[in-house]
């Protein structure tokens, strides 16, 4: 009788599975001016192989722009994507980039996914007031409604953060008349008196509707010319 022969077969894992991401796109939202080190999203891929064949590391996709790499980093071991640079909503409102998971097999296999980071606006810009023409001098008999200057207000923030209201300090013989969007005419609103005020300092304030609201003040100097009265 032949003795039974024991054959010891060792099944060695071959690298036949690529890392697979849990999602085809990872979506996240981040506030602008987010603190360096803030977590954005964590990407995760699984690999059914064993040992190095199943050991996954994470990277940016091959064609990721510096614009993205200057602002975000991918932790190759944990898959955690964090903020590493200045995020400005007024510059970039959404970032899209590809990510890769690679195993440590020979040859290595990889899997792919993408990340979309939407930036949320913060009220980080105060309104700007600018004169679109230098203020003209007035004669003291200027009729009510005479245009003195043209004003433009701007605020690059979005929605309420960029919605601007502008007014002249109360008690002034001037007022603002809206013309077209964000443009105003500074006009006389009362009889002027050169003997009392040869020059008026018109205090103009602009404030946005963000919370907290940001405000800008400016002074427009208007000269009153004498007429022989
Ligand atoms: Ca593998
Ligand atoms: Ca902003
Ligand atoms: Ca603003």
Please tell me the distance between residue 115's alpha carbon and the centre of ligand 1 in angstroms.
22
Please tell me the distance between residue 64's alpha carbon and the centre of ligand 1 in angstroms.
24
Give pLDDT tens digits for 197-216: 788 999 999 999 999 999 99
DSSP 165-195: EEEEPTT-SEEEEE-STTEEEEEE-S---TT
Please tell me the distance between residue 114's alpha carbon and the centre of ligand 1 in angstroms.
20
Predicted confidence at residue 226, as pLDDT, reads 78
Query: Can you tell me which residue has the tokens 């105060």?
Result: 126
Which ligand neighbours the alpha carbon of 49 most closely?
A: 1
Q: Cβ distance 216 to 171 under 8 Å?
A: no
| Of the candidate ranges 3-7, 113-117, 143-147, 184-188, the one whose mean pLDDT is the lowest | 3-7
Mean pLDDT of 135-147: 90
């Amino acid at each position: 009788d032949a003795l039974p022969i024991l054959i010891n077969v060792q099944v060695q894992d071959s690298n036949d599975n690529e890392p697979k991401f849990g999602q085809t796109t990872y979506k996240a939202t981040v506030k602008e001016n987010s603190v360096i080190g803030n977590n954005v999203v964590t990407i995760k891929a699984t690999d059914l192989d064993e040992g190095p064949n199943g050991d996954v590391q994470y990277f940016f996709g091959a064609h990721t722009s510096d614009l993205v790499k200057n602002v975000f980093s991918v932790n190759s071991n944990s898959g955690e994507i964090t903020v590493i640079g200045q995020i400005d909503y007024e510059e970039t409102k959404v970032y899209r980039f590809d990510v890769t998971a690679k195993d440590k097999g020979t040859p290595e296999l990889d899997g792919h996914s993408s990340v979309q980071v939407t930036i949320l606006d913060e009220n980080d810009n105060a309104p700007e007031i600018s004169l679109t023409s230098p203020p003209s001098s007035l004669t003291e008999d200027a009729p009510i409604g005479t245009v003195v200057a043209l004003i433009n207000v701007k605020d690059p923030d979005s929605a309420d953060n960029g919605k601007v209201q502008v007014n002249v300090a109360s008690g002034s013989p001037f007022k603002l008349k809206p013309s077209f969007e964000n443009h105003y005419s500074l006009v006389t609103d009362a009889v002027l008196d050169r003997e009392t005020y040869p020059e008026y300092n018109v205090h103009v304030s602009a404030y946005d509707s963000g919370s907290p609201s940001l405000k800008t003040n400016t002074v427009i100097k208007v000269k009153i010319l004498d007429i022989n009265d």
